[in-house]
Amino acid sequence: MRSSVQNATLALLLEVAGTPKPGNVDRAHDFPDLHFDHFLAGAVGARPGLAAAADGAPVGEAFETAVAGMADQRGGNTQFGALLLLVPLVAAARAELSPASVRAVVEDTTVADAAAFYRAFEHVDVFVDDPPADAEALDVRRGADAIPALEERGLTLSDVMALSADADGVAREWTTGFERVFWAGERVLELDGPVSERGARVFLELLADAPDTLVAKQHGQAAAEAVSERAAAVLDGSADPESFADDLVASGRNPGTTADLVAAGLFVALERGVTV
Amino acid sequence: MRSSVQNATLALLLEVAGTPKPGNVDRAHDFPDLHFDHFLAGAVGARPGLAAAADGAPVGEAFETAVAGMADQRGGNTQFGALLLLVPLVAAARAELSPASVRAVVEDTTVADAAAFYRAFEHVDVFVDDPPADAEALDVRRGADAIPALEERGLTLSDVMALSADADGVAREWTTGFERVFWAGERVLELDGPVSERGARVFLELLADAPDTLVAKQHGQAAAEAVSERAAAVLDGSADPESFADDLVASGRNPGTTADLVAAGLFVALERGVTV
């Protein structure tokens, strides 16, 4: 029987394997500077941080360790958002994994966890939007330089996630008991076929259900909504996934946050006994 | 920096990702009952055994643990042969990985290691040929029932591998200081491009260089030689890899031992610093 750390690693691997996941690297798609191999190395590299979470280390420290290991490949940011979901889920799986247990992990986070989260941005380039004018001191791009401002304001990692919840689909999960992640996990359990292919289906379902926040940050809300409409059209058979994928790549639209949710959903499904 | 256990896991993943590897599951090919996902789960599942090898556990015990974990998926045997190469290599990497250090690991194996190797066959169905008439007591298909015969004859795991070296390309590596594995590792270091794609290239080079012993066991030496000739034709551009792959699948020819050598070669390359 796999440990929760093994399930988290396998979730990252099944996520990137699932195809088609239009606009993302998957088993059948690479980008010019971002290759499937980078995701394999990212998943393997993240393990020490995931293991730290399973051993009860502070969530922020475990996340920073996971990101540092993930970044030990040439593709850059492969799974930052996925790890920001998986680390608290692995911590929650020390008890029984549930919305309640992951809420408890979120509530227990500290200012030190927030500081470690900021340090994680020093290991890899992550796309982030400009902060609001009154929040420049908390810009994650400041990395460790933002820690004094965090400490002065007494912000925990849970507080930091709440500040980004409107704009960022991963942060939003932290404020909702990982609602869409657990939904995705249940969908993976319901569907048939190879688990990675179920993940690809759930990717489209999540994307059709709500605009991807990475696309919204990079290209605006209207662009993100258009991507969701096209995902819905692929699901109802009125659009072709490959031409959807081609258009997303050509226009630089990467629904990467939705892929992060799929990775976390696959973890939930594996913990709940989906067989590969 | 990845540990040798992480490098072994990554080697298994890069091996199955590399395409085209005609006649094998890879990033672009599944078989009816054997899916890419099964290899991902096999690689993740094998970890405790690989970690045991890195921690200095007896090689046989580490191998049995690795195989038991690998088998925790529905595809059956995914990486038995690859693990039979990787476990001694990971053990050898406790010192500096070299033909000499892996030879020392082989020489140090015991009768208990041989017994654990036989027990590993009880975790998963592995294709094996009939033993010679005078060696029926040592048929690996007997699993643990063969252990008294092993003990009576005082056969170590190294001795068992030597008995199979003529017929089995993995066992042969045990008797040659892993000669083709180290060659494959150096080739991966020499080539350019994504590491999994280098692995696919080295697969064809190894296959063109010598008949695959799994094909030979299942279909005879002439069939294995014909497969090697076709691999050489793919390399010189006179044959198409996809029609080669189609013909191998249609005729049930699986050059799986050559894929095992590639996985081990990828491990050598990762230990020697190839960057992903």
Q: What pLDDT digit, counting tens, does each position of A53-73 carry?
A: 999 999 999 999 999 999 999
The radius of gyration of chain A from alpha carbons, rounded to an integer in Å, stands at: 17
Residue-level pLDDT at B224: 98
Query: Where does the pLDDT of residue A235 fall: very low under 50, low under 70, confident under 90, or very high at 90 and above?
Result: very high
pLDDT tens by residue, B77-98: 999 999 999 999 999 999 999 9
Residue A17 touches chain B, beta carbons under 8 Å = yes
- In order, the DSSP letters of chain A are ---HHHHHHHHHHHHHH-S--TTS-BTTB-BTTB-HHHHHHHHHHTHHHHHHHHTT--HHHHHHHHHHHHTSSTT--SSHHHHHHHHHHHHHTTS--SHHHHHHHHHT--HHHHHHHHHHTTSS----PPPPGGGGGG-GGGGGGGHHHHHHHT--HHHHHHHHTTT-HHHHHHHTTSHHHHHHHHHHHHS-S-HHHHHHHHHHHHHHHS--HHHHHHH-HHHHHHHHHHHHHHHTTSS-HHHHHHHHHHTT---HHHHHHHHHHHHHHHHTT---
Residue A196 touches chain B, beta carbons under 8 Å = yes
- Residue pair A233/A239 in contact (Cβ under 8 Å)? The answer is yes
Q: Scanning the structure block, which residue is given the tokens 């294709």?
A: B127
Residue of A2, A27, A196 lying closest to B44 (CB–CB) = A2
Structural domain boundaries in chain A: 4-271
Residues B275, A73: C-beta atoms closer than 8 Å: yes
Please say if the pLDDT value at position A134 is more than 80: no
Residue-level pLDDT at A39: 98
Please say if the pLDDT value at position B131 is more than 90: no
Residues B72, A41: C-beta atoms closer than 8 Å: no
Residue A250 touches chain B, beta carbons under 8 Å = no
Among residues A107, A272, A99, which one has the least CA distance to residue A178?
A99
Please say if the pLDDT value at position A28 is more than 80: yes
Q: Residue A207 is encoded by which pair of tokens?
A: 């994307």
Please say if the pLDDT value at position A130 is more than 90: no
Residue-level pLDDT at A243: 96
Between CA A53 and CA A58 the distance in angstroms is 7
pLDDT tens by residue, B132-147: 777 888 999 999 999 9
CA B78 to chain centre: 10
- Residue pair A237/A151 in contact (Cβ under 8 Å)? The answer is no
Between CA B85 and CA B122 the distance in angstroms is 19
When pLDDT is averaged across residues A45-57 and rounded to a whole number, the result is: 98
Residues B13, A40: C-beta atoms closer than 8 Å: yes
Q: Scanning the structure block, which residue is given the tokens 């059956």?
A: B76
Residue of B14, B28, B74 lying closest to A276 (CB–CB) = B74
Between CA A197 and CA A220 the distance in angstroms is 29
- Residue in A5, A19, A44 to test binding to B, most B beta-carbons within 10 Å: A44
Between CA B167 and CA B217 the distance in angstroms is 8
pLDDT tens by residue, B181-192: 999 999 999 999
pLDDT tens by residue, B40-51: 999 999 999 999
Residue B195 touches chain A, beta carbons under 8 Å = yes
Would you say domain B4-271 falls under CATH 1.10.4200.10? yes
Q: At what angle do helices B80-92 and B47-54 cross, to 10 degrees?
A: 20
Nearest CA in chain A to B14: A37
- Residue pair B99/B272 in contact (Cβ under 8 Å)? The answer is no
Q: Which residues of B touch A19 (CB under 8 A)?
A: none
Output A176 or A131, whichever has higher pLDDT: A176
Between CA A39 and CA A4 the distance in angstroms is 19
When pLDDT is averaged across residues A97-107 and rounded to a whole number, the result is: 98
Query: Where does the pLDDT of residue A131 fall: very low under 50, low under 70, confident under 90, or very high at 90 and above?
Result: confident
Cα dihedral A38/A42/A45/A46 (nearest 10): 180
Residues B10, A74: C-beta atoms closer than 8 Å: no
Please say if the pLDDT value at position A38 is more than 90: yes
* Distance in Å from the first CA to the final CA of chain A: 12
Query: Where does the pLDDT of residue A123 fall: very low under 50, low under 70, confident under 90, or very high at 90 and above?
Result: very high
Residue-level pLDDT at A157: 98
When pLDDT is averaged across residues A31-47 and rounded to a whole number, the result is: 97
Q: Which residues of B touch A40 (CB under 8 A)?
A: 10, 13-14, 17, 196, 276
When pLDDT is averaged across residues A172-199 and rounded to a whole number, the result is: 98
Residue-level pLDDT at B188: 98
Please say if the pLDDT value at position B168 is more than 90: yes
Residue B275 touches chain A, beta carbons under 8 Å = yes
Q: Scanning the structure block, which residue is given the tokens 């082989």?
A: B106
Give residue A50's identity as a one-letter amino acid code: L
Three-state SS string over chain B comes to: CCCHHHHHHHHHHHHHHCCCCCCCCECCECECCECHHHHHHHHHHCHHHHHHHHCCCCHHHHHHHHHHHHCCCCCCCCCHHHHHHHHHHHHHCCCCCCHHHHHHHHHCCCHHHHHHHHHHCCCCCCCCCCCCHHHHHHCHHHHHHHHHHHHHHCCCHHHHHHHHCCCCHHHHHHHCCCHHHHHHHHHHHHCCCCHHHHHHHHHHHHHHHCCCHHHHHHHCHHHHHHHHHHHHHHHCCCCCHHHHHHHHHHCCCCCHHHHHHHHHHHHHHHHCCCCC
- Residue in B35, B40, B195 to test binding to A, most A beta-carbons within 10 Å: B40
Q: Which residues of B touch A13 (CB under 8 A)?
A: 13, 40, 43-44
Residue A4 to chain B, least CA–CA distance (Å)? 11
Q: Residue A24 is encoded by which pair of tokens?
A: 């993302």
Residues B194, A35: C-beta atoms closer than 8 Å: yes
When pLDDT is averaged across residues B249-262 and rounded to a whole number, the result is: 97
Residue A38 touches chain B, beta carbons under 8 Å = yes
Please say if the pLDDT value at position B269 is more than 80: yes
Residues 55-94, chain B: which have Cβ within 8 Å of A? 69, 72-74
When pLDDT is averaged across residues A252-268 and rounded to a whole number, the result is: 98
> Which residues contact residue A96 at a Cβ distance below 8 angstroms, ignoring those fewer than 6 apart?
none
Report the 10 Å Cβ neighbour count for B218: 16
